[in-house]
C-alpha cells in the first residue's frame, strides 16, 4: 500500500510552491488577453509559398498607421495580424496592402478568416466568463455538501466541499500561471476557448476528487472512523489505479490534439493537458491530505 497520507506534508509543500509561483506570475505578467477580451480585429492570411517575416509585414503596413499592430506567423504558411477595431473599408485596405506587397505569380495571399469584436462585447464576455466560473464553484460546494450530508463525522460534510474547492483553485491557478508565462515569453493569448478549458478542468477535477471522497465515505460507513488518516489512505489506494488509467487515456488524446489538431485548438488542448493532469494529481495529493489536515486541526482545537 502506498503511504500517500504519511508523506502529505511534502506533497502539500510542493503544491503550495507551485501555487505561489503561479500567483506571482499572474500578478507580475498577467494573462495576455486575446481578441475576445480586449476587442479589436484579427486577420488570418495564408501564403501559397513563402511567408514574409514579421518585420517586413510591419514595414509594408506602416502607411496604414494601424494601432496596436501585432504580427504572428503560424504553421502551414499562415500569418495572424491583430490590430485595433477595423471597419470593412479598413479591412480591405489592410488585405490590399498585403497583396500589393507580397503577392506574386507563384505566391498568392489568401484570406482565411477575419474577426472583429468591439470593446463593449469584449467587456461583456470577460464579465460573463467570471460569473460562469463563480457559479460553477458555488454549485460544486452545494452539491458536495448535499452528497456527503450523511457523513458528518469525523469531518462535517460541508468541509468536503470546501476542500474540493481549494483543490480546484489549486488546479485552475497553476494552469493560469502556466499561461501567464507563455503569454509573457511566447505571446500566447487567452480567449473564450481558454475559459471553456478552465470550466472543463473544474468539472474533471471535482469528478476525480469526488471519486476519492466517495470511497472515503463508504469506508467510514463500513468501518470505524477512529483511524481517519488510515481510512483516507486506504481509499486513495483503492482509487489510485482508476485515476491513473483514466487520466492517462485522456492525456494521450489531448496530446494528440495538441500536436495534430491545428492552431485553432492548440492552446485549448494545452490548457486541458495541464489542468486535467493537475486535477488528477490534486485529487490524490492535495484534496485528500487536506481533509486529514482538517481532521487533525479539529482534534487540536478540542484538546
pLDDT at 221 over 90: no
On whether the CB atoms of residues 123 and 36 are closer than 8 A, the answer is no
The burial class, CB within 10 Å (0-12 / 13-18 / 19+), for 111 is middle
Kindly state whether residues 88 and 179 are assigned to the same domain.
no
Q: Indicate whether 101 and 131 sit together in one domain.
A: no
In whole angstroms, give the CA distance from residue 296 to residue 18: 24
Domain of 154, CATH number, reads: 1.20.1640.10
Shared domain for 163 and 297, answered yes or no, is yes
DSSP secondary structure letters along 212-276: HHHHHHHHHHHS-SSSHHHHHHHHHHHHHHHHHHHHHHHHHHHHHHHHHS-HHHHHHHHHHHHHH
Residues 202 and 226 in one domain: yes
Same domain flag for 86 and 235: no
Angle between helices 288-302 and 192-222 (to 10 degrees): 60
Residues 53-98: tens digit of each pLDDT: 888 888 888 888 887 788 888 777 888 888 888 888 988 988 998 9
- Residues 68 and 106 placed together within one structural domain of the fold: yes
Together in a domain, 146 and 104: no
Average pLDDT, the chain: 86
SS3 state of residue 128 = helix
Domain boundary among 97, 117, 137: 117
pLDDT higher than threshold 80 for residue 238: yes
Residue 269: Cβ within 10 Å count: 21
CB environment 54-67: b (16+ within 10 A), e (fewer):
eeebeeebeeeebe
Residues 225 and 154 occupy one common structural domain: yes
Check if the beta carbon of residue 30 is closer than 8 Å to that of residue 180.
yes
User: Where a domain ends, among 83, 117, 151?
Assistant: 117
Residue 290 — very low, low, confident or very high, per pLDDT cuts 50/70/90? very high
The span from the CA of 107 to the CA of 104, in Å, is 5
CA distances from 31 to 64, 180, 276 (A): 29, 5, 20
Regarding whether 94 and 69 lie in a shared domain, the answer is yes
Domain count, the chain: 2
The arrangement of strands across the sheet holding 40-47 comes to 70-74, 78-83, 40-47, 109-117
Q: Give pLDDT, residue 152.
A: 58
How far apart, in whole angstroms, are the C-alpha atoms of residue 38 and residue 183?
A: 14
Kindly state whether residues 111 and 190 are assigned to the same domain. Answer: no
Please state, for a pLDDT cut of 70, what percent of the chain lies above it.
96
Residues 244 and 140 in one domain: yes
**Is the Cβ–Cβ distance between 3 and 233 less than 8 Å?**
yes
Which set of grid coordinates corresponds to residue 117? Answer: 469584436
pLDDT for the residue 252: 95
Mark out the alpha helices in the chain (DSSP H runs). Answer: 8-28, 35-38, 54-60, 88-102, 119-147, 157-186, 192-222, 228-260, 263-282, 288-302
Whose cell is 507580397? That residue is: 102
Segment 127-150, tens digit of pLDDT: 888 888 888 878 877 877 777 776
Residue 28, pLDDT score: 96
C-alpha cell at 279: 486535477
Place of cell 506574386: 104
**Do both 108 and 196 map to the same domain?**
no
**In this structure, what CATH number is given to the domain that contains residue 73?**
3.30.70.3400
101: containing domain: 40-117
CB 84 within 8 A of CB 41: yes
| Predicted confidence (pLDDT) per residue in 29-62, tens digit | 999 887 777 778 888 899 988 888 888 888 888 8
- Beta bridge partners, 43, equal 81, 114
Domain boundary among 55, 87, 117: 117
pLDDT at 210 over 80: yes
Amino acid at each position: 500500500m502506498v503511504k500517500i497520507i504519511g508523506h502529505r506534508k511534502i506533497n502539500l509543500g510542493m503544491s503550495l510552491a507551485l501555487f505561489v509561483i503561479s500567483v506571482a506570475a499572474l500578478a507580475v505578467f498577467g494573462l495576455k488577453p486575446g481578441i475576445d477580451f480586449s476587442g479589436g480585429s484579427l486577420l488570418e492570411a495564408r501564403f501559397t509559398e513563402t511567408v514574409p517575416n514579421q518585420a517586413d509585414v510591419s514595414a509594408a503596413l506602416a502607411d496604414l498607421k494601424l494601432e496596436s499592430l501585432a504580427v504572428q506567423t503560424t504553421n502551414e504558411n499562415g500569418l495572424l495580424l491583430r490590430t485595433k477595431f477595423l471597419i470593412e473599408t479598413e479591412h480591405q485596405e489592410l488585405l490590399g496592402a498585403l497583396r500589393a506587397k507580397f503577392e506574386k505569380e507563384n505566391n498568392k495571399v489568401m484570406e482565411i478568416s477575419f474577426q472583429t469584436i468591439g470593446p463593449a462585447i469584449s467587456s461583456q464576455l470577460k464579465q460573463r466568463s467570471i460569473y460562469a466560473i463563480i457559479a460553477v464553484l458555488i454549485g460544486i460546494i452545494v452539491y458536495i455538501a448535499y452528497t456527503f450530508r450523511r457523513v458528518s463525522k469525523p469531518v462535517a460534510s460541508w468541509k468536503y466541499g470546501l476542500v474540493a474547492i481549494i483543490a480546484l483553485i489549486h488546479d485552475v491557478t497553476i494552469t493560469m500561471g502556466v499561461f501567464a508565462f507563455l503569454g509573457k515569453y511566447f505571446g500566447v493569448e487567452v480567449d473564450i476557448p481558454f475559459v471553456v478549458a478552465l470550466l472543463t478542468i473544474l468539472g474533471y477535477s471535482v469528478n476525480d476528487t469526488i471519486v476519492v471522497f466517495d470511497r472515503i465515505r463508504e469506508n467510514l460507513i463500513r468501518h470505524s472512523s477512529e483511524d481517519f488518516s488510515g481510512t483516507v489512505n486506504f481509499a486513495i489506494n483503492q482509487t489510485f489505479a482508476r485515476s491513473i488509467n483514466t487520466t492517462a487515456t485522456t492525456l494521450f488524446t489531448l496530446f494528440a490534439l495538441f500536436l495534430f489538431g491545428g492552431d485553432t485548438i492548440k492552446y485549448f488542448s494545452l490548457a486541458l493537458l495541464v489542468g486535467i493532469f493537475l486535477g488528477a494529481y490534486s485529487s490524490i495529493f492535495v484534496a485528500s491530505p487536506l481533509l486529514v489536515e482538517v481532521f487533525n486541526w479539529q482534534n487540536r482545537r478540542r484538546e
